[in-house]
Amino acid sequence: MKKIGIICKSGKPEPPEILREILPYMKEKGFELFIDEDAAEMLNMKGYSRAEIPDLVDAVIVLGGDGTMLSVARLVAHKDIPILGVNIGGLGFITEVNRSGMKEAIDKMLVEKCSVEERLMLQVHIHRHGEKISDYLVLNDVVINKGALARIIELETFIDHQYVTTYRSDGLIVSTPTGSTAYNLSAGGPIIYPTMNSVVITPICPHTLTNRPIVIGDGSMVEIILRSDSEDVFLTLDGQVGYSLRKGDLIEIGKSGHKTRLLVPCEKNYYNILRTKLRWGER
């Protein structure tokens, strides 16, 4: 891996500081670097648009938090490019390398000693009046929820074309294992080991308390039909892309042919990450 893209979280002071420290080191190691134009502008260097970086590089380093990682994962998925995430955000479940360990991780990346962890992605299709009107790729989750003033919504749900139930709730989360520690966890859903081949469906504040989260295989197709008259219902993808839904819209969610490929340090311990990030065992 010699051609490396670097994509940074916008509006943060840390990325330029890190780049000033790390760029000479990487050039000395023989890397050819392609820096996103926003970060490059702050350093008075030539930059590249995020859209063109996937076609130029063998791997991407992300300086940011999980939100930046999610957007980059969708950006590079079609090119099968591995990503190394350096956490300068908050929790950082996906961005697993800290700033202090960045040089060591880069050295391992150079000699290809980082393992590559493949993460499930979902393909989402929206149908209206029998026609597909949009489709999206997600790494974390697909969320249907109501606006602040809307009443409980009704979501008729099928798995592999078999009727499951009609959820009467504030919404519904369909999450990958990677996304299980995000909104799914806050809504009472289970934590799923990130490389498992599964999907979890979690209702948000269900009217019927016996409606509990359900874990299904990643080969299943989930179909959700909005049965409510409310116009204040939204589909949110990875917490970053929003889409307004109408009564009768069909949301079809299935396994994508693409995967997110994460470069993972050999010493990584997922359970240690859970203990640290979620503060397990603290009083």
H or E segment to which residue 109 belongs: helix 102-110
pLDDT higher than threshold 70 for residue 267: no
Q: Which residue has the higher pLDDT, 267 or 6?
A: 6
Classify domain 121-258 at the CATH class level. Answer: mainly beta
pLDDT digits (tens, 9 = 90+) for 215-252: 999 999 999 999 998 778 999 999 999 999 999 999 99
**Per DSSP, what are the bridge partners of residue 250?**
127, 225
Q: What is the mean predicted confidence (pLDDT) over 175-198?
A: 96
**Does the annotation mark 66 as catalytic?**
yes
- The closest of 44, 40, 66 to 53, measured between CA atoms, is 40
The residues spanned by each domain of the chain are: 3-114+265-278, 121-258
The pLDDT confidence band at residue 15, using thresholds 50, 70 and 90, is confident
Q: Which of 66, 141, 238, 249 is catalytic?
A: 66
The CATH superfamily of 3-114+265-278 is Probable inorganic polyphosphate/atp-NAD kinase; domain 1 (3.40.50.10330)
Q: Which residue has the tokens 């990346």?
A: 109
**Structural contact between residues 255 and 123, judged by C-beta atoms closer than 8 angstroms:** yes
